[in-house]
Amino acid sequence: MGLYDSPSPEVKPLRGLHLYHFVLSNCSQRVRLALEEKGLPWTSHHMNLPANEHATPEYQAINPNGVVPTLVHDGQVVIDSNDILAYLEEHFPKPPLRPHDAGERAAMQERIAEASAIQSAIKALSHELLFRPFRRIGPDELAVFERNHRDRELVAFMRDYSEEGPAWQERVETARGEMEAALDRLESALGESPWLSGAAFGLADVSWVVNAHRLSQAQYPLEARPGFRAWYEKAAARPAFERAVAAYRP
Ligand SMILES: N[C@@H](CCC(=O)N[C@@H](CS)C(=O)NCC(=O)O)C(=O)O
């Protein structure tokens, strides 16, 4: 369940809940939201992603994928945002964010797996529709990132984004196709129940509302998805969302 035996000397002594995260990362927002929904106190280790603070050897020793978020709980490292949600539910079950009903639990797992699978599409669409005016990457930054980050896919993504050529256009087109298919599935699920896994707000909603927020900020066309839009407004109106996502400042 996302547990990682980190060689970093930094994490072992940490007591309580510590989160390595970035203010605008949707994966980080997801975990902050779960922590807020559960009313859990946590210590922030803010990582400036545009400054590539995640590309250091020290951070890659904490999270072997060199991405945020990373949760540390009493010295135990947990990686991957959706695995962190499951870990929090296991260790801090109140208030419950997992349904009792077996069918609803299966629906929750399916929706969460979809949220994990859509991450590369969210990333490409965020960069294309939202970040580009604020985030230019030149050859010097690219070279430093390539030298310092061990994940070749993250490097390839940064190269394609910075070159803005056919490889980038292909990433964006693929992302649009995947997003449309995922939104079709969600629209149809929300025709059956008020929340993504059934009658009550739960981890599937936590996992997806941050993606919906990103799409909304990026002005991704959602007119044809009334169920999804109504669900997003309802989920984003929860006080925890305001604290963890909309109004969160590091
Ligand atoms: N599957 C991972 C994905 C984590 C991920 O991609 N995090 C992004 C921010 S949302 C990141 O750190 N990106 C760094 C980069 O692209 O260089 C999770 O859900 O935690």
CA nearest neighbour of 40 among 95, 109, 110: 95
E strand spans, 58-128 = 70-73, 76-79
Question: How does pLDDT run across 132-166, given as a tens digit for each residue?
Answer: 999 999 999 999 999 999 999 999 999 999 999 99
Atom of ligand 1 nearest to the CA of 123: 10
Q: What is the pLDDT of residue 87?
A: 98
Question: How does pLDDT run across 124-135, given as a tens digit for each residue?
Answer: 999 999 999 999
Q: Is 31 in the pocket of ligand 1 (CB under 6 A)?
A: no
Q: Is 63 in the pocket of ligand 1 (CB under 6 A)?
A: no
* Cα 99 to ligand 1 centroid, rounded to whole Å: 27
Averaged pLDDT of the chain: 97
Q: Which residue's C-alpha comes closest to atom 14 of ligand 1?
A: 67
* Cα 179 to ligand 1 centroid, rounded to whole Å: 17
Domains of the chain: 3-91 (3.40.30.10), 102-246 (1.20.1050.10)
* Cα 124 to ligand 1 centroid, rounded to whole Å: 12
CA nearest neighbour of 30 among 227, 247, 244, 249: 244
Cβ–Cβ under 8 Å, residues 217 and 122: no
Q: Could you give the CA distance from residue 221 to residue 112 in angstroms, rounded to a whole number? A: 22
Q: What is the pLDDT of residue 228?
A: 98
* Cα 185 to ligand 1 centroid, rounded to whole Å: 23
Instruction: Say if residue 239 is preceded by a cis peptide, omega within 30 of 0.
Output: no
Q: Which residue's C-alpha comes closest to atom 9 of ligand 1?
A: 25
Q: Is residue 1 very low, low, confident or very high in pLDDT (cuts 50, 70, 90)?
A: low
Q: What is the pLDDT of residue 165?
A: 97
Cβ–Cβ under 8 Å, residues 196 and 186: yes
Question: How does pLDDT run across 208-229, given as a tens digit for each residue?
Answer: 999 999 999 999 999 999 999 9
Q: Is 25 in the pocket of ligand 1 (CB under 6 A)?
A: yes
Cα 223 to Cα 183, 219, 233, distances in angstroms: 12, 10, 14
Q: Is residue 202 very low, low, confident or very high in pLDDT (cuts 50, 70, 90)?
A: very high
Q: Could you give the CA distance from residue 126 to residue 142 in angstroms, rounded to a whole number? A: 19
Q: Is 240 in the pocket of ligand 1 (CB under 6 A)?
A: no
Tell me the two tokens of residue 249.
Answer: 């400042």
Question: How does pLDDT run across 84-119, given as a tens digit for each residue?
Answer: 999 999 999 999 999 999 999 999 999 999 999 999
Q: Could you give the CA distance from residue 161 to residue 47 in angstroms, rounded to a whole number? A: 21
Burial of 212 (0-12, 13-18, 19+ CB in 10 A): buried
Cβ–Cβ under 8 Å, residues 8 and 58: yes
Q: What is the DSSP letter of 116?
A: H
Average pLDDT over residues 63-83: 98
Question: How does pLDDT run across 19-68, given as a tens digit for each residue?
Answer: 999 999 999 999 999 999 999 999 999 999 999 999 999 999 999 999 99
Question: How does pLDDT run across 39-50, given as a tens digit for each residue?
Answer: 999 999 999 999
- Residue 160 contacts by C-beta under 8 Å, 6 or more apart in sequence? 167, 168, 171
